[in-house]
Structure 1
């Protein structure tokens, strides 16, 4: 029988910038994801799962996350709750240039659960980094979120970006789930299932074949 996961919950960049600042999360609805982030933190505290809070900063005067600005401050959902470790960063991955890896290793954490913003940027970067460091990763799709982009490569809506990243993460990098299912797994002390590239592709191909 396998041992229960030794989880930590990482709460990435839940800052005012994404709620009423210059980078508004559009999908899922930010109020819905914020509520689930709060629920995840509360469940983690109840089950003695360590909570790590991450905060991103840019230099003073930057258009987003400027140090000292209201937008860079942690949102009340996170600021009002206790945490076990704090990480300040300036790059997408919460591991880059921080003590996160050492802190997790010292506590023999083997499973990292990711919530916060944004799905396609700091969340995904942290997920990839964690997997490459040998950690099992979980991703709560309803406690994360995206915003739309348009640039020289084209346009993608917030829903498209979030949905596609969730599918890709589940195919190899993380067990993608929702807050209710994660809380149940934490209370039961059981792991969540991650997919595979092969199975994900085979299922997609089978769905396109004539009946």
Structure 2
């Protein structure tokens, strides 16, 4: 198997800007992201860093703003490609798929769990990649709108369950690093197993 690590939107907006990550705690998730990047470098796994950009008048990720800049610790680490995007998925009109020639498995880390991470994971799945979703190297914020309200923990954990049901192997960073070191795949998700409660 040939892996790549996709590090999504680890930008200042999520730390010192208008959208601070709440769960898992942002310093913990950042530490896990950096561990994954360091392990990828040790084992020759290409790292793709993704950066979100919005128009200059946007309250989030505005072009030219400090919030749009990559977190310093991520920017300082080696990576194979920097992908700029304007939509949730890192694959949308970015040419990312073409940069993954020879790769059959992608690992997802970064922010936010239910938005750019999930969108990228779903697109990768539909493009034929095996997907690994790093549960402690991703994170999100609480949500509230006309449909209801969820805590950051609820948002995060709900996405992990859905990912594991069909789209991605959900794993901790430590488990992923062990699998990388051993050169073995993670157990694949199973829609049949995940829907067992519906048949009970």
- Calculate the TM-score normalised by the size of structure 2: 0.98
Partner residue, 2:78: 82
Deviations 1:5-28 (A, max 9, x none): 200000000001011211111000
What's the Cα RMSD here? Answer: 1.1
Instruction: List aligned pairs for 1:1-211, cutoff 5 A.
Output: 5-105=1-101, 108-202=102-196, 204=197
**SS of residue matched to 2:195:** helix
Where structure 2 has 5 or more consecutive residues not aligned to the other structure, the ranges are: none
Where does structure 1 differ by over 3 angstroms across 4 or more consecutive aligned residues?
none
**Cα drift, residue 77 of structure 1:** 2.0
In 1, distance between residues paired with 2:64 and 2:121? 28
Larger Rg belongs to: 1
**SS of residue matched to 2:7:** strand
- Alignment length, in residue pairs? 200
The answer to whether the 8 A contact 1:171-1:194 is kept is: no
Deviations 1:98-136 (A, max 9, x none): 11011102xx00000000000100000000000100000
**Cα drift, residue 76 of structure 1:** 1.4
- Calculate the TM-score normalised by the size of structure 1: 0.93
